[in-house]
Amino acid sequence: MTEYPVGSVRTTARVVRALEDNREAGVTELADELNVSKASVHNHLTTLERLGVVVSDAGRYRLGLRFLDIGIGVRDGMELHRIARPEVDGLAQSTGEATALVVPEHNEAVYAAVETSSRNDRRIRLGSRAPLHATAAGKVVLAYRSREAVEEYVETVGLDPETDRTISNRSELHTELRSVTDRGLAFDRGELFDGMRSVAAPVRRGDDTDALAGALTVLGPAERLSGKRLEEDLPGMVLSAAKRVELELAD
Amino acid sequence: MTEYPVGSVRTTARVVRALEDNREAGVTELADELNVSKASVHNHLTTLERLGVVVSDAGRYRLGLRFLDIGIGVRDGMELHRIARPEVDGLAQSTGEATALVVPEHNEAVYAAVETSSRNDRRIRLGSRAPLHATAAGKVVLAYRSREAVEEYVETVGLDPETDRTISNRSELHTELRSVTDRGLAFDRGELFDGMRSVAAPVRRGDDTDALAGALTVLGPAERLSGKRLEEDLPGMVLSAAKRVELELAD
DNA sequence: GAGTGTGTTTCCTGTTACTGAACAGATTTT
DNA sequence: AAAATCTGTTCAGTAACAGGAAACACACTC
């Protein structure tokens, strides 16, 4: 058994990945980039096109919008999203900042819902992914894991520094996570993007285990997120919103 | 050469499709549903999980949010989207109705951007797809195609009736499309959903050929979309918004 | 009109993706 | 509590086929 039981699917994934980066590409171009024969690339592309996932136009190929269809479907299918969505919207309105529902997946923080108070403020992209140790929401996710699970994260993912404020050593991370569980809140002060701060509160599944379902978060520029607003006002709002989601999630 | 040059990818796609419908499933469940051996399903699932596209939890499998990531990336990468987005938002604000940017893909109308004036009004889903002959935006798409291309659409896709007002015969479609090109505008009066109406205007690529890039559309309940508002006011707004997009698209 | 791109097709072969069956847990039934 | 019956997972063998090389077709350029 190799790493990928169905090898050809892996090749397909590489083709998709390449199209994701290049936005549009030709057969030879992809063949060179991926070190695969032209014929093989061609086969994968026509397969993908038949499947309605890729669009071809005059010998150029690009990804179609079926991914969006599937992705939104997956997102809308999450009960956490259904319940948390109104709170995300409400938070955006009451705080005047960007807000999001963040969900852990494959050791990354995924923005499953994003809302902004002012339109055309698209700094955080829906569906984008960030490292767990460099965002408030991500730290919430880590904080509610066992110490071994956190160690495993450090081991496999590593603590790559995104800015010069990113937590990048093990002990610092552990003390930070301790403070997160203590307060039931996490902060990020320019640890992912310079001049960008965020607050996040956990949403736990009340039912069986107290496993973490996700996190609500508020994000904004350091100029606006500071002092009492950052330390007290926003935390209070995020926390109570998260609590409401937990309650409704429990039933 | 068979229908799908890389057959195993087709199986993978079927697995993904099944997960899309079932939201969550086990191995045997999928194996039965797809008439494939358990082992094979298992192989595909672990491959997909390794690729970060599927999430497994206690023997249950479900699609992850990577599709959303890719999909939004594709969408944001479209220059038409970049340019049309502000107009879609502006239309939502000025009309007070739901608005969208629609793009043709694989003979379907895809909602590439959706905006609503009031929050939590999520009737049309981002990324969802509708038949070309049953929506205002779709009729715009068809109208700017050659007659043979329209015939080909009727042949391959067919004119399935979605409601009792859906255009479902060839000649009716052709006269309708004629009126669309004449006025540069398309209407839909409950042809996709009962009680739902929409107006759409074309966005054409000015540059080389006058190929259609997409359409802007306004949607709402029949009670609000009727009379002079439906016939004159909204058309005027959609049309001028579409013109502005065309202009900026030309440079 | 030769030359260099492109995407597409063909053909062959070594790989591998599938199946059927055995295995290992967990849960339920008796 | 043990047996029966679900799971998901692993294993081994074979028939299918995915991938590579090269020829092809077509569009450009020079």
Q: Which chain A residue is nearest to residue B72, measuring alpha carbons?
A: A68
Choose from B38, B68, B83 for mutation: most chain A CBs within 10 A: B68
Question: Nearest CA to B230 among B193, B176, B187?
Answer: B187
Please state which CATH class domain A7-64 belongs to. mainly alpha
pLDDT digits (tens, 9 = 90+) for B133-189: 999 999 999 999 999 899 999 999 999 999 999 999 999 999 999 999 999 999 999
A184 touches strand C (CB under 7 A): no
Q: What is d(CA A134, CA A189) in angstroms, rounded to the nearest whole number?
A: 9
pLDDT digits (tens, 9 = 90+) for B17-28: 999 999 999 889
A175 touches strand D (CB under 7 A): no
Using the Cβ of B69 and the Cβ atoms of chain A, whether some distance falls under 8 Å is answered with yes
| Residue B227 token pair | 């009379």
Q: What is d(CA B86, CA A217) in angstroms, rounded to the nearest whole number?
A: 26
Distance of CA B125 to the CA centre of its chain: 9
Q: What is d(CA A83, CA A95) in angstroms, rounded to the nearest whole number?
A: 19
How many other CB atoms are found less than 10 A from the CB of residue B47?
25
pLDDT digits (tens, 9 = 90+) for A190-234: 999 999 999 999 999 876 567 899 999 999 999 999 999 999 999
Three-state SS for B70? Answer: helix
Residue B1 pLDDT level (bands cut at 50, 70, 90): very low
CATH number of this structure's domain B70-250, picked from the four choices 3.40.190.10, 3.30.450.40, 3.30.420.40, 3.40.50.2300: 3.30.450.40
Chain B residues in contact with A77 (beta carbon < 8 A): 23
- Give me the helix-helix angle, B7-22 and A38-50, nearest 10°: 30
Three-state SS for A192? Answer: coil
| Residue B148 token pair | 């043979």
Residue A1 pLDDT level (bands cut at 50, 70, 90): very low
Distance from CA of B49 to the nearest CA of A (A): 9
Q: Per-domain residue ranges for chain A?
A: 7-64, 70-250
Side-chain half-sphere CA neighbours of B48 within 13 A: 27
| Residue A78 token pair | 């999450």
Q: What is d(CA A78, CA B175) in angstroms, rounded to the nearest whole number?
A: 44
How many other CB atoms are found less than 10 A from the CB of residue B102?
30
Using the Cβ of B129 and the Cβ atoms of chain A, whether some distance falls under 8 Å is answered with yes
pTM of the model: 0.93
